[in-house]
Amino acid sequence: MYTKTLISMNWHLWMLCMVFLLGAGCQTDDDNVQKEPEENEQGGENPDEETDPEKEPTTADFENMDPDLPSFVSIDDTTPEDMQWIKVDGLTDEFDSWDEIKWFKPLWNYDVPVQMKAENSGVADGNLWIKATLDEGAERWFETSRVQSKEQISYPMYTESRIRTAHISAYNTFWLNNGDISNRNEIDVIENNSKPSCGCQPDFPWQMNSQYFHVIDDDTRREKGNFDNRNLSNANPGKGIKWNEEYHIVGVWWKDATHIQFYLDGEPAGSVVSERDFTRDLNLIWDLWTFDADWLGGLAKKEDLLDDSINTMKVDWVRTWKLEPTQ
């Protein structure tokens, strides 16, 4: 009995030693794998590495845009490398006085009831103005005017104008054109109506109506690039401000024969791509007109034409640049 007990004890002691030796000398595969560094408390893998997020524009940025360059350059400069903006004097004016070398008044008419008149436009108090007045009893009772540049321009170029609309149901326009109804190249930067009378265009007080026309022998190609100013960035002072309530800067970057990018208050708005190449040099034009159609917003109300506080479109300035290679 004693002998069996001693043998059993020796066997158990031998087994305990073997377990200890094996446990001390063995490692699992996991023990040999180098672990990834754990993320720091802020969630980054490298606490010494700092990110530089893209700077969002501030209200101060919009209020201090450089007048010597297109407005968007002060907000988000997308000017191509090795290119520069060169101001075009013949298509730039602060409207301190009427400059007959730069501008004239072509008085061809739209449809009834529009009547173009030279005396319904001019320059005063630092603005180019176009006024709508009433000729009661006449078939063409909506008296208005048009101003056009003498100089023409082609792509690549950028132009912008600071405009406050007349608060009547009419299109307040800034556009580029060369040709007639049957053959023309046309870029409409704005056709804005802050007071539609039809009850059918609820977004018009904020909607920037922009488009192009390319017409050859009455074959028309066209695309709209509209934009709602309520979609501007939160820091932009123009966001949600109706066209008649404050001046807005409206512009277009005519990039090449087919690509056209519109701008509003320093930010990209709508854009269009022409189905055919633009081939003509274009003039700058402003005018003010109405028509009895829902697409325009409805006919102007005659009583509004008698109110001098709302019947005048005002243009603070226009500035134009060509995009040219750097020297």
Contact present, 281 and 154 (Cβ < 8 Å): yes
Q: How far apart are CA 222 and CA 326, in angstroms?
A: 34
Contact present, 175 and 285 (Cβ < 8 Å): yes
CATH architecture of 84-325: Sandwich (2.60)
Q: Which contiguous run of DSSP H or E holds residue 11?
A: helix 2-25
Contact present, 72 and 57 (Cβ < 8 Å): no
pLDDT the model gives residue 18: 45
Contact present, 286 and 174 (Cβ < 8 Å): yes
Residue 66 burial by Cβ neighbours in a 10 Å radius (0-12, 13-18, 19+): exposed
**pLDDT surpasses 50 at 196:** yes
Name the token pair of 294: 């829902």
Task: Encode pLDDT of 274-320 as tens digits.
Answer: 999 999 999 999 999 999 999 999 999 999 999 999 999 999 999 99
Average pLDDT over residues 27-35: 39
Average pLDDT over residues 168-194: 98
Beta bridge partners of 314: 129, 164
Confidence of residue 53 (pLDDT cuts 50, 70, 90): low
Q: How far apart are CA 205 and CA 243, in angstroms?
A: 6
Task: Encode pLDDT of 224-237 as tens digits.
Answer: 999 999 999 999 99
CB atoms within 10 A of CB 276: 13
What CA–CA distances, in Å, run from 109 to 112, 118, 290? Answer: 8, 12, 11
Domain ranges of the chain: 84-325
Contact present, 132 and 308 (Cβ < 8 Å): no
pLDDT the model gives residue 55: 77
Q: What's the predicted TM-score (pTM) here?
A: 0.83
Q: Residues with catalytic annotation?
A: 186, 191
**pLDDT surpasses 70 at 47:** no
* Average pLDDT of the chain to the nearest whole number: 88
Average pLDDT over residues 186-211: 98
CB atoms within 10 A of CB 189: 29
Average pLDDT over residues 49-69: 81
- The HSE-up count of residue 215 (CA atoms within 13 Å, CB side) is 15
Task: Encode pLDDT of 90-130 as tens digits.
Answer: 999 999 999 999 999 999 999 999 999 999 999 999 999 99
Percent over 90 (pLDDT), the chain: 83
3-state class (DSSP) for residue 20: helix
Q: Which contiguous run of DSSP H or E holds residue 122?
A: strand 121-124
**pLDDT surpasses 50 at 255:** yes
Name the token pair of 268: 């990209």
Average pLDDT over residues 181-206: 98
- The HSE-up count of residue 18 (CA atoms within 13 Å, CB side) is 6
List phi, psi (to 5°) of 113. Answer: -105, 25
Contact present, 297 and 201 (Cβ < 8 Å): yes
pLDDT the model gives residue 49: 43
Q: Comparing C-alpha atoms, which of 321, 291, 254, 327 is closest to residue 132? A: 291
Residue 3 burial by Cβ neighbours in a 10 Å radius (0-12, 13-18, 19+): exposed
**pLDDT surpasses 90 at 132:** yes
Average pLDDT over residues 164-179: 98
**pLDDT surpasses 70 at 29:** no
Lowest mean pLDDT among 53-57, 67-71, 135-139, 146-150: 53-57
**pLDDT surpasses 60 at 19:** no
3-state class (DSSP) for residue 216: strand
